[in-house]
Amino acid sequence: MLKNLNLCQNSLPLAPAGTKRTAFTLVELMMVVVVLGLLTAILIPALSGITSKGRAAEELGGARAAVAAWRDYAIDRDGELLKGYYPESEPSTDPLYDFNGNLIAPGPTQERWFWRLAPYLEDPKRAFFPKALEEVRRELIDVPNHQYSATIHPAFGLNGEWFGGLGDSLTNPLYAIYEYGNLERRPWKKNLSDIRNTGKLIVFASSRFGSTDNNGGGGYLPGITEGFHRIESPCDATNGYRWATSESGTVLSSMTNNPAEHGYVSARHSGKAVTAMADGSTRLETLTDIGDMRRWADDAWKRDWVLVP
C-alpha cells in the first residue's frame, strides 16, 4: 500500500526549475491592502492641505489686485476714495459693463461699489470669484443675468464704513453722528492722502453672509454663502463691541453660525481670513488679529475704541 502511495506522489507533475509564481498569497494581498490604506491616510490630508493652501494663495492674489485697483481708483479722482454705497442720485459718470460686455444702467446695480471698481482690474471675475467661491460663481456669476448678484457676493467685503463712507444720508450712522454730533471733521476717510496708518488699516477682507436657520437673510443662496460686499468693524461707533465676544470680553477666535457676529468677515482659510491693507499689502490673519479697532479706523487708539463714548 505504501509503495502504491509513493508511486502516486512521484507521478504528480513538478513545476519546472526556475518557474516564477504568478499569484499572490492571501497574506501578501492583505499586506498590500494595509500599505495602500496607510498611504491613503497620509496622502489625503496632505493633498487637502495643498488644495487649501492653493485657495488661500489664489485669494491673496485677488486681494492684492483688488486693493491695487482701489488705490488706482482714488488716484484717478485726485485721491477721493471709493464709497461703499452710492445713492441713485450719484450714477457713475463712466459707462459700466458686466462680464458679458452688457451696459449696466443707473439704478440699484450701481449703488454698491463693485462695478465701479471692476474696470480697474485686469480680470475682476478671477479676483473676486476665486475657487473658494466656486458655488457662487457657478450659480450666480457664470450666468447671463449676473449684474446685481455680483454686487452682493464678491469674495471680499469693503470697509466702506471707515474708508470712503456709506453715503451722505441719515441712514448712514456715521454720517448722522457727524451731522448732528458736533464733530470737528468726518470720522471716515474720504481721501487717500488722509490715511496715516496705511500698513495696518484693513480695506478688504474675506467675507460671508447669511445664516444656517433661514434662506440666506437677503443673499441669493440658502444658508451661509461665502462672499459679501461689506465688512463691519468690531465695535459700533457708539455702542462698543458688535462682534461676538467671550465672557472675558475679547473677540471670539472662531466663527459662529451668524456671519454678522464677526462683521461678515470669513476666516475660511483654516481659521484665517485674507486681508488687504491701505498700503497694498495682504495677509492671512485670525479673527483675533483683526478684532481690533486700530485695524479698522485711523483715529482708533485702543482695541475697543468707540467714536462717541
Q: Which residue do the cell numbers 441719515 mark?
A: 170
C-alpha to C-alpha distance for 203 and 71, rounded to whole angstroms: 10
Query: Which residue positions in the chain have pLDDT lower than 70?
Result: 1-23, 43-51, 170, 212-220, 309
218 with 205: CB under 8 angstroms? no
Query: Residue 207: what are its φ and ψ, rounded to 5°?
Result: -140, 165
What's the grid cell of residue 242?
A: 458688535
The model's pLDDT over 227-237, given as tens digits with 9 standing for 90+, comes to 999 999 999 98
**Sign (positive or negative) of CA dihedral 64, 65, 67, 72:** positive
Distance CA 195, CA 213 (A): 40
Q: What pLDDT is recorded for position 1?
A: 46
Each residue's pLDDT tens digit, 270-281? 999 999 999 999
H or E segment and range at residue 38 = helix 26-75
Sole residue written with cell 466663527: 255
Q: Output the pLDDT for position 40.
A: 73
C-alpha cell at 296: 479698522
